[in-house]
């Protein structure tokens, strides 16, 4: 068991998982557990090569002004029904055209997302994903330089 | 020496299935339904593959459930239409990225990506707000490909020229 774990970590740290692919690229599954903002708060994330950017299911979104800047406070709820409150400055507000033709307004914030040993500051759209199974969707802007996605695998990365 | 090496190699091959790198966009073709060039978005966020079709009509041929549909394979050319016919293997409830549930026909047909041709299942949808006319989902990808989302047209450069 220990040996298995050691080999797994070795594979992850050497940037090669399962096979010889482009050097220093990490192969991950289409579902992974990530941590938010240096905390121990865990979210199940869907890794989506079809999405440009990342988005997160934000509940109780309240906008407020702080020293002339636009801020937002919202709540996350993960698959284990635990809540986590985040307060962040708004980087921008985007208008997203939905597949049904409707236009939605979304706040964009910057979030530190940690996947295994790699942590990245990533722009995240605040959306209502309450009708979806996964609260966080990770798009190409997060994945681009380091990660390859193997859609036959899930939860390949551990941060232990 | 060589005798000893042989089994080792075989074990290694069994353990490590060879998967090709695919970009997040690729030019693909569907030889059996007459689509020789369509741009596909390689989408690990979707389970099933989808084709953007219109005028979808069901019919029966020798007791077999069939579907006839039209496709605009090229994003910027709506005058170019391909009429396709395929066997319906299923009808399925599909939820799109906007959370909308829709009943769709599922067809099975051959797809060619680069030098490889294999069978793929795809649902037909007439949502014309789809930017890409083809989405390649996880089921089609899982046995053969690993997605590099920093690249496009990794396997289909030759087709693109």
**What letter would DSSP give residue A128?**
-
pLDDT digit string, tens, across residues B88-108: 999 998 877 667 788 999 999
The residues spanned by each domain of chain B are 19-160
CATH class of B19-160: mainly beta
Q: Does B22 touch chain A (CB under 8 A)?
A: no
Distance CA(A17)–CA(A156), nearest Å, equals 9
Nearest to B150 among A51, A100, A144 (CB): A144
Helix and strand numbers, DSSP H then E, in chain A:
2, 12
Question: Could B148 and A148 be called an inter-chain contact, meaning their C-beta atoms sit closer than 8 Å?
Answer: yes
Q: What residue of A is the nearest CA neighbor of B95?
A: A132
Question: Could A140 and B45 be called an inter-chain contact, meaning their C-beta atoms sit closer than 8 Å?
Answer: no
In contact, B51 and B33? CB cutoff 8 Å:
no
The pLDDT of B105-121, averaged and rounded, is 95
Return the residue in B14, B25, B45 with the most chain A beta carbons within 10 A, the one to mutate for interface testing.
B45
pLDDT value for A119: 92
Instruction: Count the Cβ atoms, other than its own, within 10 Å of residue B137.
Output: 23
More confident residue, A107 or A22: A107
Distance CA(A89)–CA(A70), nearest Å, equals 6
Q: What residue of A is the nearest CA neighbor of B19?
A: A19
Distance CA(A108)–CA(A90), nearest Å, equals 6
Question: Could A100 and B98 be called an inter-chain contact, meaning their C-beta atoms sit closer than 8 Å?
Answer: yes
Distance CA(A49)–CA(B160), nearest Å, equals 21
The residues spanned by each domain of chain A are 2-149
In CATH terms, the fold of domain A2-149 is Cathepsin D, subunit A; domain 1 (2.40.70)
Distance CA(B161)–CA(B156), nearest Å, equals 9
More confident residue, B102 or A120: A120
- DSSP character string of B21-76: EEESEEEEEEGGGTEEEEEEEE-TT-SSEEEE-EEEEEEEETTEEEEEEEE--STT
Confidence of residue A19 (pLDDT cuts 50, 70, 90): very low
Residue B9 has pLDDT above 70, yes or no: no
ipTM reported for the complex, 2 dp: 0.81
B97: which chain A residues are within 8 Å (Cβ-Cβ)? 50-51, 99
Question: Could A98 and B98 be called an inter-chain contact, meaning their C-beta atoms sit closer than 8 Å?
Answer: yes
**What letter would DSSP give residue B18?**
-
B45: which chain A residues are within 8 Å (Cβ-Cβ)? 30, 46-51, 137
């Amino acid at each position: 068991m220990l040996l298995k774990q050691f080999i797994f970590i070795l594979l992850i740290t050497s940037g090669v998982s399962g096979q010889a692919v482009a050097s220093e690229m990490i192969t991950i599954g289409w579902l992974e557990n990530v941590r938010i903002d240096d905390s121990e708060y865990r979210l199940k994330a869907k890794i989506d090569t079809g999405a440009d950017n990342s988005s997160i299911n934000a509940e109780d979104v309240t906008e407020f002004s702080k020293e002339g800047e636009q801020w937002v406070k919202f709540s996350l709820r993960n698959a284990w029904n635990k809540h986590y409150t985040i307060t962040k400055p708004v980087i921008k507000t985007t208008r997203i055209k939905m597949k049904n033709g409707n236009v939605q307004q979304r706040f964009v914030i910057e979030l530190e997302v940690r996947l295994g040993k790699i942590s990245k500051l990533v722009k995240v759209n605040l959306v209502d994903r309450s009708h979806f199974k996964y609260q966080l969707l990770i798009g190409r802007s997060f994945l681009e330089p380091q990660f390859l996605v193997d859609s036959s695998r899930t939860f390949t990365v551990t941060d232990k | 020496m060589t005798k000893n090496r042989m089994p080792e190699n075989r074990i290694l091959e069994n353990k490590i299935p060879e998967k090709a790198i695919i970009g997040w966009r690729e030019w693909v073709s569907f030889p059996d339904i007459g689509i020789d060039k369509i741009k596909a978005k390689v989408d690990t966020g979707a389970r099933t593959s989808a084709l953007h079709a219109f005028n979808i009509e069901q019919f029966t041929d020798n007791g077999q459930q069939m579907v006839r549909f039209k496709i605009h394979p090229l994003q910027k050319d709506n005058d170019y239409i391909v009429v396709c016919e395929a066997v319906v293997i299923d009808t399925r409830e599909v939820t799109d990225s906007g959370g909308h549930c829709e009943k769709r026909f599922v067809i099975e047909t051959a797809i060619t990506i680069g030098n490889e041709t294999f069978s793929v299942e795809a649902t037909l949808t007439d949502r014309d707000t789809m930017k890409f006319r083809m989405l390649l989902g996880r089921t089609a990808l899982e046995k053969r490909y690993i997605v590099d989302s920093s690249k496009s047209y990794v396997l289909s450069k030759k087709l693109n020229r």
